[in-house]
Amino acid sequence: MADPVTNAPVTAPVTAADPGGAPGIVAGPVEAAGSAVSDPAAAAVTATPAVGPAPGRKGRLERRALALMTDTAANALLGMVFWVAAARLYSADQVGRASAIITAATLLCTLSQLNLGNVYARFLGGAGHRQRRMVFTGYAGVVGLAVVLGAGYAVLGPGSVLFADAWEAWLFPVAVAVLTVFVLQDMILISLDRAFWVPVENITWGVAKLGMLVALAASQPVHGIVLSWIVPALVALLGVTAYLLFRKWPKHPPVAIPDRRELTSAVGGEYVIGLVSTAVPLALPLLVVHELGLAANAYFSVPWLFATSLSLLMWNVASILLVEAANRPDQLSALLRRALRMSLLVGVVGGLGIWLVGPWLLSLLGPEYAESSAWLLRLTGLAAPAVAIVVVWTTAARSQGWLRRVLALQLCVGVGVLGLSALLLGPLGVTGIGAAFLTVQTIAAAVVVRSLLRMVRPPRRTGRHRHPGRSGRARTAPAVETGAAPLS
């Protein structure tokens, strides 16, 4: 699923993102909302790997991450083309109204997902014969919440301004439910080792909605934009759901899934993390408008879009790492090293590209954009390597079940960016947000980098575990240390 203006995936992460993504690496219970694993080294030795292809196979993580990054880039391009075409084919009033409806539906879709994508990434691979039930129980939960939130918005929100007629208001909760499941299906496919289907599905959706937008321009000048966005998503949803209904599900017992209480705790922890992650992107534009006015928000939103898109590419890597680490916890250190290299490559190259080319791209929008937004764009590009470190640590921490630590970091980063931005907007304008973002992300990376370096160290032998032999005397087997360490 995507942002209503750029079509960049909302979840990678999704989430993106995260904008909008992580798997459990330890077989057995996760801690309640994220306390530290007592003995990660021993747990990794005794964990039973999930059934499926070995995710440590050479280049597998990188190929799947590249597939998701291709999806992000292609849909961002298709989304831009969609809105350019909408502006040419429909009246400005209808484009503005449809954009507001899709933005509202996308926000409610994000809130309705319960951040289940991360839960699926951590536990679905090891759920055995419970996979099917786990998938469709999640379906039911998010659809129910989406309908409730959508109906509440239709009744209590600005319906008289937003909706063209009663039918549009009645169907709005259905649209929210469709988008919610459509987004969630991406992480379900990734968790079921079908990551390469995600770009196929989403690019097909992007092309189909563009074709439908053109086809409906004459016959549906009022509803055409919203219908073009929702109907292809519904068709894609039904196709993936049919595959999930009739696919051959595993019959073996679960090998790495917590009990109901602990799974509920993990869902609750992920949902709170998702709410915190959603708050900053929503609050920053409001802060800019409050402090500097509507025109300044235009100069903020475009460079911020570049920074968000670059972060989404790193969360694509994180989504794959989440699933791979859940399936093969004994390969955590190697997977982390590869994910860190790839994320840093994306961050360094992307940040350098933003620094060098970004101001020129802004000048295409007008000289006022280049003058007002260039340093905001450059500072967010400078922050990209630090963001890469934070993204990989966050994913590794999720894989250990350290949800409290992830939540604490998200809260500190969110409060820090908002608070420092509020202080710097006055003297620096929108550049103050770039300075705040760079400062807070750098501090966050410095805080977690020691823990991350411990986790990426190659495994080493630390002793010998004793196992009973046939004679009753104990015999020994080598123990392996994963290098996992709590945030320090």
Contacts 24+ apart (CB under 8 A), 421-427: 421/284, 421/287, 422/287, 422/291, 425/287, 425/288, 425/291, 425/292, 426/291
Give pLDDT, residue 157. 78
Q: From 316, 320, 333, 340, select the one nearest 60 (Cα to Cα).
A: 320
Instruction: Return the pLDDT at 461.
Output: 57
The predicted model gives 158-183 an average pLDDT of 88
| DSSP string computed for 36-70 | PPS-HHHHHHHPPPPSSS-TTSTTHHHHHHHHHHH
Q: What is the pLDDT of residues 222-275, one digit of tens each?
A: 899 999 999 999 999 999 999 999 988 877 776 666 667 777 777 777 778 777
DSSP-based three-state secondary structure for 276: helix
How many residues comprise the chain? 488
- The answer to whether the beta carbons of residues 122 and 24 sit under 8 Å apart is yes
The pLDDT score that the predictor gives to residue 160 is 67
Q: Which amino acid is at 61?
A: L
The token duo for 411 is: 């809260």
Q: What percent of the chain has pLDDT over 90?
A: 24
Of the listed ranges 297-311, 420-434, 459-473, the least confidently predicted one is 459-473
Spatial CA neighbour of 46 closest among 25, 22, 67: 25
Sign of the Cα torsion 115, 121, 126, 130 reads positive
State how far the Cα of 419 lies from the Cα of 399, in Å rounded to an integer. Answer: 30
Coil, strand or helix at 254:
coil
Bridge-based pairing of strands 474-481 and 460-468 is antiparallel
Question: Residue 99: pLDDT above 90?
Answer: no
Average of per-residue pLDDT across 49-77: 69
Q: Give the HSE-up count for residue 253: Cα atoms under 13 Å, Cβ half-sphere.
A: 3
Residue 89 has pLDDT above 80, yes or no: yes
Angle between helices 116-123 and 384-400 (to 10 degrees): 60
CA distances from 303 to 5, 296, 359, 372 (A): 14, 12, 9, 10
pLDDT tens digits, one per residue of 62-75: 788 888 888 888 88
Nearest residue to 101 (alpha-carbon basis) of 157, 166, 144: 157
Judge contact between 462 and 479, C-beta under 8 A: yes
Please provide residue 352's backbone torsions phi and psi, each rounded to the nearest 5 degrees.
-65, -40
Per-residue pLDDT tens for 367-376? Answer: 877 788 889 8
Segment 183-188 mean pLDDT = 91
Closest by alpha carbon to 384, among 298, 303, 468, 284?
303
- pLDDT of res. 268: 78
Contact status, residue 392 vs residue 444, Cβ threshold 8 Å: no
Whole-angstrom distance, CA of residue 436 vs CA of residue 442: 10
Distance of CA 246 to the CA centre of its chain: 27
Dihedral angle sign, alpha carbons of residues 168, 150, 232, 99: positive
Mean pLDDT of 321-348: 82
Distance CA 257, CA 124 (A): 8
For position 10, what pLDDT does the model report? Answer: 40
Most confident of 73-87, 317-331, 353-367: 73-87
Contacts of 382 (CB under 8 A, 6+ apart): 351, 355, 438
